[in-house]
Copies of this chain bind each other. A is one copy, B any other.
């Protein structure tokens, strides 16, 4: 539609940390014309060099403080454990009226770490895109990562409604479905749907690795669907996940407790040969899968549409 030029949501966006999420945001912002200038900063010189080489941002800065200068939106896309330090560094350099968001997988701990460092007049709207792959770094991003994925916002009670609405629109234009919830509730839900499953996957892969020394490469060679899915989950960024477990400790330990309780019950059913208990349990879990497909959060295509033919 020639002649119609939309004003972008933000004039200048600063991405602090240039991993999978930030680099995907950069691509999505460009593709959808959501900002005029993307400033970027990564702690590692190598990531900054890569970002410059592939033209990920309009400008790459050596420090976070420089990157946030004049930015209307600042996105903290660093591991949860590093959020406080970055906030402390950028606090004095933020433009009055700017919006600050983050993409951490844990929300209450990020709020506790970041909020104290932000000056009055800056709008802090914590967020969490539920999207990812097992890849990381500035080269791993792609524009469609957030399409049809949830992006949860956990604004504080005193949040500026206009600032929240603007961020919301910006995220929706990347293809995300945005919802708001309480930070602590977010942390419990995610402990169930993401954090504990990841810990379990890490553990199972670790066990297989120990046994790999017994059965040589067979554990990898004959890795069946179940295990292969686990290894993908367990290949996620170690720093990010360490921080998730350290900062969402209570909810994770609560869910882990329930998990081992149920696992022991199934283990007992196997030991005693209680086929009926096993069958009933497996039938019940099958139903939840249907719910997920109906909720549009995944595809019913065989093998996830992964295509046995292509691999």
List chain A positions with a Cβ less than 8 A from chain B: 81, 130-135, 140, 142, 144-150, 152, 185, 188-190, 192-194, 196-212, 215, 217-236, 238-239, 241-243, 245-246, 249, 252-253, 255-256, 258-260, 262-264, 266-267, 269-271, 273, 275, 278-279, 281-292, 295, 297-299, 302-311
Contacts and interface: CB of A to CB of B under 8 A. Distances in A.
Given A286-B234, A309-B147, A226 B298 contact: no
Contact of A152 (B222, B233, B252, B299): B222
B232 A148 contact: no
Contacts of A302: 133-135, 140, 142, 145
Contact of A286 (B133, B235, B304): B235
Number of copies of chain A assembled together: 2
- Most interface-central of A130, A185, A211, A311 (chain B CB within 10 A): A311
- Most interface-central of A131, A150, A200, A290 (chain B CB within 10 A): A200
A311 B299 contact: yes
Given A223-B292, A242-B282, 4 more contacts: A220-B291, A229-B233, A231-B289, A246-B270
8 closest residue pairs by CB, A with B: A235-B289, A238-B282, A197-B226, A194-B224, A133-B302, A144-B309, A205-B285, A234-B285
Contact of A266 (B203, B231, B270): B203
Contacts of A210: 258, 262
A261 to B, nearest CB: 8
19 contacts: A81-B275, A130-B224, A148-B308, A150-B222, A189-B215, A197-B229, A223-B298, A229-B229, A231-B298, A232-B289, A232-B304, A246-B270, A249-B271, A253-B271, A256-B267, A260-B263, A260-B264, A298-B311, A306-B306
Given A190-B224, A226-B197, A267-B256, A133 B282 contact: no
A308 B145 contact: yes
A219 B251 CA distance: 14
Contacts of A196: 204, 207
Nearest to A229: B229
A233 B226 contact: yes
A307 B310 contact: no
A209 to B, nearest CB: 5
Contacts of A281: 202, 206
A287 B206 CA distance: 10
Nearest to A294: B220
Contacts of A208: 192-193, 288
